[in-house]
């Protein structure tokens, strides 16, 4: 029941808000839905919910991504209240075009994290695209519509390939044993050792390309910078921090089947390769980037590459990747929320038109600087620790040069970020301008996220480290 409630409550609230458009109903449903979801997720840490058959179950991997999603949604919801009720520079925001889809988006992402059935997983990931597309074209302007169209077409096509991959896996399972194949994680991992290799490998390639499109791995990432830069800032925060992880989970589920088959080397090679391609491509686009929201979007492509490399390398690098998933999600969501505050103040996403953000935005400016340090992998923030873990594991592994390439690319990427962001932050305010009076609701959510990122860099609690170790072992790593 616990798992059903986790999915059904946001879905129900979403459907209700489609119907009732009164402002108190919309805001109540948004905050209430976020609070209930967060509460249920916290409760799941104490009392692990009982699985419903083999299809709906919460394992440690799902738990990790569910928790990230739930916390980020709560932060984005609180931020969105201020964002939607304050006058924007475009037009009076229409709550009923925002809140229902945000809640349905949460329901779909929750289903992704709680299902063990591969076809349901596919349905849920496609549902995340459909629920979030109206959020992307929230402003109904030309560029936003263009971004939404690319998002819909590219991701739907990618995901259609993932469905073909799912069917391939079913075909492989049919060949593996007598009787109708089961598409649950348990059934597939049991059948995996006897699966014909050609079908299993073809299935993994299709899933990696399909879900990898949604995850933003290069060269299938082309929708991502457009979508993340055109969506309203709280939506960008969720797309980057929560949705990309959910697509990553889709890839991980297929990877788990490859692991169970005893033939994971092929999958590891592909993950590492696509990961490096993503880091390299994203780094190239960080330099001289003119739009700071696109800058953060390309940084997401880079970080998804880091996750893929970590899982591809295995061993302690997988632990690092899981820790990095948490770090990146929190830091990037915080950055996108702060980008919303900068956009409010300056009225443009052009990085060169923004100067003296630290002086003009006395709270958001310094926070932006802190999270810039975090996402660039500087100590004492969390991403430094997780990237270091992956780097050390790569150096210790058989291909040490991969570790060298990894750290070189990350340093170059950090320089690219600094080249765009530091000029925005520095400089005095123009004469006669007064620093903005920032509203608490617009600053508190990114502040909390930044605090978590800082905390994870200084000290990872033992219980959390144990938990991440268990997650890493489930996806072929060691702690």
Partner 1 sequence: MTAFADGLLLLVLVTDLYILASSRLAACVRATAVQGVLLAALPLVLWGPGGGVPLVHLLLMSAGALAVKAGVIPALLLRAAREANARREVEPYVSLHLSVLLGAALVGLSLWLARVLVPPGDVAATLLVPAAFATALLGFLMLVARKYAVTQVVGYLMLDNGVFIFGQSLAGSLPVMVELGILLDLLVAVFVMGIAIHHISREFDHIDTRALASLRD
Q: Does 327 bind partner 1 (CB under 8 A)?
A: no
Q: Does 15 bind partner 1 (CB under 8 A)?
A: no
Give the number of residues written for the chain. 479
Task: Between 227 and 360, name the residue whose CB sits nearer to partner 1.
Answer: 227
Q: Does 134 bind partner 1 (CB under 8 A)?
A: yes
Minimum distance from residue 126 beta carbon to partner 1 (Å): 5
Of 8, 12, 175, 281, the one binding partner 1 (CB under 8 A) is 175
The answer to whether 382 and 457 are in contact (CB under 8 A) is yes
Cβ count within 10 A of residue 461: 10
Minimum distance from residue 437 beta carbon to partner 1 (Å): 33
Q: Does 93 bind partner 1 (CB under 8 A)?
A: no
Q: Does 152 bind partner 1 (CB under 8 A)?
A: yes
The answer to whether 334 and 453 are in contact (CB under 8 A) is yes
Task: For residues 11 and 249, give the distance between their C-alpha atoms in angstroms, rounded to a whole number.
Answer: 21
Minimum distance from residue 172 beta carbon to partner 1 (Å): 7
Q: Does 117 bind partner 1 (CB under 8 A)?
A: yes
Helix (H, G, I), strand (E, B) or coil at 315: strand
Q: Does 127 bind partner 1 (CB under 8 A)?
A: yes
DSSP code for 194: G
Q: Does 140 bind partner 1 (CB under 8 A)?
A: yes
Q: What is the CA radius of gyration of the chain?
A: 21
Task: For residues 9 and 161, give the distance between their C-alpha atoms in angstroms, rounded to a whole number.
Answer: 30
Q: Does 334 bind partner 1 (CB under 8 A)?
A: no
Span near partner 1 by CB under 8 A; candidates 30-38, 75-83, 118-126, 457-465? 118-126
Q: Does 148 bind partner 1 (CB under 8 A)?
A: yes
* Helix 292-313 and helix 316-346, axial crossing angle in degrees, nearest 10: 170
The answer to whether 299 and 375 are in contact (CB under 8 A) is yes
The candidate with the shortest Cα–Cα distance to 93, out of 235, 283, 270, is 235
Of 15, 23, 35, 180, the one binding partner 1 (CB under 8 A) is 180
Helix (H, G, I), strand (E, B) or coil at 108: helix
Of 120, 280, 436, 441, the one binding partner 1 (CB under 8 A) is 120
Q: Does 41 bind partner 1 (CB under 8 A)?
A: no
Q: Does 196 bind partner 1 (CB under 8 A)?
A: yes
The answer to whether 456 and 382 are in contact (CB under 8 A) is yes
Of 198, 411, 422, 478, the one binding partner 1 (CB under 8 A) is 198
Task: For residues 67 and 103, give the distance between their C-alpha atoms in angstroms, rounded to a whole number.
Answer: 16
Span near partner 1 by CB under 8 A; candidates 69-77, 122-130, 235-243, 272-280? 122-130
Q: Does 183 bind partner 1 (CB under 8 A)?
A: yes
Task: Between 366 and 419, name the residue whose CB sits nearer to partner 1.
Answer: 419
The answer to whether 3 and 120 are in contact (CB under 8 A) is no
Task: Between 155 and 325, name the residue whose CB sits nearer to partner 1.
Answer: 155
Of 67, 69, 213, 230, the one binding partner 1 (CB under 8 A) is 230
Burial 268-283, CB ≥16 within 10 A → b, else e: bebbbebbbbbbbbbb
Q: Does 214 bind partner 1 (CB under 8 A)?
A: no
Task: Between 182 and 329, name the residue whose CB sits nearer to partner 1.
Answer: 182
Task: For residues 441 and 101, give the distance between their C-alpha atoms in angstroms, rounded to a whole number.
Answer: 21
First-to-last CA distance in the chain?
A: 32
Of 73, 83, 105, 122, the one binding partner 1 (CB under 8 A) is 122
124 Cβ neighbours under 8 A, 6+ residues apart: 108, 109, 111, 112, 115
Q: Does 226 bind partner 1 (CB under 8 A)?
A: yes
Which spans of this chain sit near partner 1 (rule: CB under 8 A)? 117, 119-120, 122-123, 126-127, 129-130, 133-134, 137, 140-143, 145-150, 152-153, 156-157, 160, 163-164, 167, 170-175, 180-183, 196, 198-199, 202, 225-226, 229-230, 285, 289, 294
């Amino acid at each position: 029941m616990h798992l059903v409630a986790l999915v059904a409550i946001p879905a129900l609230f979403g459907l209700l808000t489609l119907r009732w458009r009164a402002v108190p109903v919309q805001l109540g449903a948004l905050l209430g839905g976020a609070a209930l979801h967060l509460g249920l997720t916290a409760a799941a840490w104490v009392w692990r919910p009982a699985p419903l058959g083999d299809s709906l179950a919460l394992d440690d991997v799902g738990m990790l991504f569910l928790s990230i999603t739930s916390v980020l949604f709560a932060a984005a919801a609180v931020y969105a209240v201020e964002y939607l009720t304050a006058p924007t520079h475009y037009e009076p925001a229409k709550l009923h075009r925002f809140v229902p889809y945000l809640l349905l988006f949460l329901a779909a992402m929750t289903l992704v994290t709680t299902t063990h059935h591969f076809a349901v997983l596919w349905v849920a990931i496609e549902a995340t695209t459909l629920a979030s597309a109206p959020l992307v074209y929230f402003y109904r302007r030309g560029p936003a519509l263009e971004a939404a169209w690319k998002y819909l077409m590219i991701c739907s096509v990618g995901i259609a390939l993932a469905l073909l991959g799912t069917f391939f896996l079913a075909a492989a399972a049919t060949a593996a044993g007598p009787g109708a194949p089961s598409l649950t994680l348990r059934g597939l991992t049991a059948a995996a050792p006897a699966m014909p290799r050609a079908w299993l490998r073809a299935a993994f390639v299709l899933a990696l390309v399909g879900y990898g499109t949604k995850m933003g791995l290069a060269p299938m990432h082309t929708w991502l910078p457009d979508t993340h830069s055109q969506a309203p800032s709280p939506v960008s925060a969720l797309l980057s921090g929560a949705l990309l992880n959910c697509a990553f989970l889709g890839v991980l589920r297929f990877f788990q089947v490859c692991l169970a088959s005893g033939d994971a080397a092929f999958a590891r090679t592909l993950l590492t390769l696509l990961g490096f391609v993503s880091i390299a491509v994203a780094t190239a686009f960080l330099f001289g980037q003119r739009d700071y929201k696109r800058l953060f979007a390309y940084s997401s492509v880079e970080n998804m590459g880091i996750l893929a490399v970590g899982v591809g390398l295995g061993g302690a690098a997988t632990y690092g990747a899981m820790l990095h998933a948490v770090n990146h999600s929190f830091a990037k969501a915080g950055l996108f929320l702060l980008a919303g505050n900068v956009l409010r103040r300056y009225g443009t996403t052009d990085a060169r038109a923004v100067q003296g953000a630290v002086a003009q935005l006395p709270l958001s400016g310094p926070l932006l600087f802190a999270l810039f340090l975090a996402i660039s992998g500087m100590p004492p923030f969390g991403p430094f620790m997780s990237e270091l873990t992956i780097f050390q594991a790569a150096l210790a592994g058989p291909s040490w040069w991969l570790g060298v390439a990894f750290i070189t690319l990350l340093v170059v990427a950090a320089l690219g970020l600094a080249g765009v962001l530091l000029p925005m932050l520095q400089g005095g305010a123009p004469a006669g301008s007064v620093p903005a009076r920032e509203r608490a609701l617009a600053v508190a959510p990114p502040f909390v996220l930044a605090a978590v990122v800082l905390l994870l860099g200084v000290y990872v609690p033992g219980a959390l480290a144990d938990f991440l170790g268990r997650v890493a072992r489930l996806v072929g790593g060691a702690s």
